[in-house]
Every structure is written in C-alpha cells, then in structure tokens.
C-alpha cells in the first residue's frame, strides 16, 4: 500500500497517519501519536528534482492540477488551515512544524503554495487567524 512512501517513523509509520472525518473538509489526515516538531511524517519517493510550488499543488490536488497519480492519496487528504501544523518540503517530505498530539489533523497552508495562481476557495478552517479565503498569500 505504501510503495511510493518511505514512512520515516518507527514501525514504518504504520498507525501514525490515519484518515478520519475532518471538521474542515471531508476525510482529513490525522496522527494518532504525540510527535515532536520537525518529524518527517511521510515522504514522496520517486522525485528526480526538487518539488516546485506547482508540483506541490499537484500532489495535494488543488488548483485544478490533478495528475491522477493514485500514490498521492496521502497528500490529497491534507486539508488547508490558515494556522497550519505542517508543511511540504521541496524534497517531498510532509513535516510537522510544531508538536502535535494524538488525534490532531495534519494541515498545511495552501496559500503558501499558490504563488502565481489565481485559484481560490472559501476557507472553512475556523482557526483564530482564519483569512476566510484560500488564495496566494504572496500575490
């Protein structure tokens, strides 16, 4: 099941990342363990070059870019939050940027990936600093 993913956590990441109903949107990506900041939650393998912003949008499945790569199923479950607890590195790693506790939804800020894109959507993250719209934070 995880042929494309090199789960960097003990026990090959089994049981660390799970899908469950999200209060933000649909099924989200959650962890069921307490993890220190900067833990590599998973990594997309098979990369020949560093990920561009467009690549990152594609593996998450936003901005109308969908390469239909089923192996990206983990990344496609990552919801946006205006107060994210994770990021996707240029080397394809999903890394939490703060300590997370069990039953926490893993989120990234799509706005950081939307430079040069006019894509936008209503934000439902309900964080205290919610911008109420998901769009590039740099344009």
86 or 125: CB nearest Zn ion: 125
Residue 137 binding Zn ion, by CB under 5 A:
no
User: Which has the closest alpha carbon to 39: 83, 100, 82, 81?
Assistant: 100
Tokens in use for 68?
A: 């239909």
- Shortest reach from residue 17's CB to Zn ion, in Å: 22
- List 7, 69, 130, 135, residue binding Zn ion (CB under 5 A): 130
- Shortest reach from residue 131's CB to Zn ion, in Å: 5
39 or 107: CB nearest Zn ion: 107
Residues 57-116 touching Zn ion, rule: CB under 5 A, are: 82
- Shortest reach from residue 135's CB to Zn ion, in Å: 11
92 or 111: CB nearest Zn ion: 111
Strands (E), the chain: 17-21, 27-31, 40-43, 79-80, 86-88, 93-96, 104-105, 107-108, 121-122, 133-134
Alpha-carbon torsion 62, 90, 48, 139, what sign?
A: positive
């Amino acid at each position: 099941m995880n042929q494309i993913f090199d789960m960097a956590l003990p026990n090959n990441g089994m049981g660390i990342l799970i899908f469950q109903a999200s209060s933000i949107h649909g099924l989200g990506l959650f962890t069921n363990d307490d993890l220190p900041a900067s833990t590599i939650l998973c990594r997309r393998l098979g990369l020949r070059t560093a990920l561009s912003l467009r690549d990152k949008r594609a593996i998450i499945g936003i901005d109308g870019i969908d390469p239909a790569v089923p192996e990206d199923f983990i990344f496609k479950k990552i919801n946006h939050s205006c107060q994210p607890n994770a990021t996707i590195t240029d080397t394809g790693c999903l890394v939490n940027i703060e300590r997370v506790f069990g039953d926490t939804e893993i989120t990234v800020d799509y706005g950081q990936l939307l430079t040069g894109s006019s894509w936008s959507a209503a934000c439902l993250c309900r964080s205290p600093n919610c911008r109420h719209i998901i769009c590039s934070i740099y344009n």
